[in-house]
Amino acid sequence: MSKTAESHPNLRIRNKELDLSTPKVMGILNVTPDSFSDGGEYNHKQTALQRIEEMIVQGAEIVDIGGESTRPGSDPVSVDEESSRVLPVLKVAIERFQNIFFSVDTTKYDVARPALEAGAHIINDVSGLQKEPRFSELCAEFNAGYVLMHSQGDPKTMQDNPEYRDVISDITGFLGRQIEILEKKGVVSVFVDPGIGFGKTLQHNLKIISGLHKFTKFGYPVLMGASRKSMIGKILEDRPADGRLAGTLAVHYHSLLNGAKILRVHDVQEASDSIQVFNAIVSAEDR
């Protein structure tokens, strides 16, 4: 791994270039009835499309569409069910919003392939190739981006008793091995996500965030997704999901300071504002 943290300022994803000279916002669109924060709000095509348009106006350059909840304790859904939630929205959105990158949050090959055939740009895989190793070949075939996320266990049981010898070295070791697989298969656009809340205790999550700069060593953009997650609720004395915005902004701003290039968020306007302020401060330092 000879790459440096700045070796991928821009990523060529399918026929589009993602400029990462400054951080970008990935807006979350859950077309599910049971996601932890916004389940049921956007599981109809028209409301989903309205939300996509709203996120774009607020500053999202990537929209991540998910049809299966991965919250702790959630049950899996069938390929047919997930496809019926994701693909109708995706197909119309790609046609309507042609300047935006669309990501599909899935661990299923038979959801990912038709999504890429429909024009999706990125596959966001919470299992990091563990559930579907063929994603490496699939993303190479379409010249698609791939979000490599670390998780321990599956959503149903991942928070039962997560354990690590050393959380940072264990996760970076896993990511390094998976990156080698992706590179050998020809995937050139990779996003690295340490997987906040996926098989981690509160202390594990805090160590990851405080040591986030260690994940930039692979030379690929680091994605941070802590939006409204339970770790913030625990810090704020059992605050519910709709009261975690300030905590989310604090985590994400700290992540920007430590090298994050993508913020995956529910609250797009606030994330975009924080990046605008971050960029202004960084520009002042460079003068």
| Angle subtended by helix axes 202-210 and 245-257, to nearest 10 | 40
What is the rounded distance in angstroms from the CA atom of residue 268 to the CA atom of residue 274? 10
Q: In the prediction, which pLDDT does 270 show?
A: 98
pLDDT truncated to tens, each residue of the chain (287 aa)?
Answer: 334 345 456 899 998 999 999 999 999 999 987 544 444 455 578 899 999 999 999 999 999 999 997 776 667 899 999 999 999 999 999 999 999 999 999 999 999 999 999 999 999 999 999 999 999 999 999 999 999 999 987 766 656 678 899 999 999 999 999 999 999 999 999 999 999 999 999 999 999 999 999 999 999 999 999 999 999 999 999 999 999 999 999 999 999 999 999 999 999 999 999 999 999 999 998 77
Q: In the prediction, which pLDDT does 32 show?
A: 84
**What does the block give as tokens for 214?**
């260690």
| Angle subtended by helix axes 45-58 and 268-286, to nearest 10 | 20
What is the rounded distance in angstroms from the CA atom of residue 65 to the CA atom of residue 153? 22
What is the rounded distance in angstroms from the CA atom of residue 81 to the CA atom of residue 83? 5
Q: In the prediction, which pLDDT does 39 show?
A: 45
Q: In the prediction, which pLDDT does 4 show?
A: 37
**What does the block give as tokens for 21?**
């000279």
Q: Which conformational region is residue 14 in: left (phi greater than 0), alpha (psi within -120 to 50 degrees), or beta?
A: left
Element (H, E) at 160: none
What is the rounded distance in angstroms from the CA atom of residue 210 to the CA atom of residue 255? 8
Active site residues: 229, 264
- Residues linked to residue 19 through DSSP beta bridges, in sequence order: 10
Task: Give the list of residues 6+ apart from residue 153 with CB closer than 8 angstroms, or none.
Answer: 160, 162, 199
Element (H, E) at 280: helix 268-286
Q: What is the pTM of this model?
A: 0.91
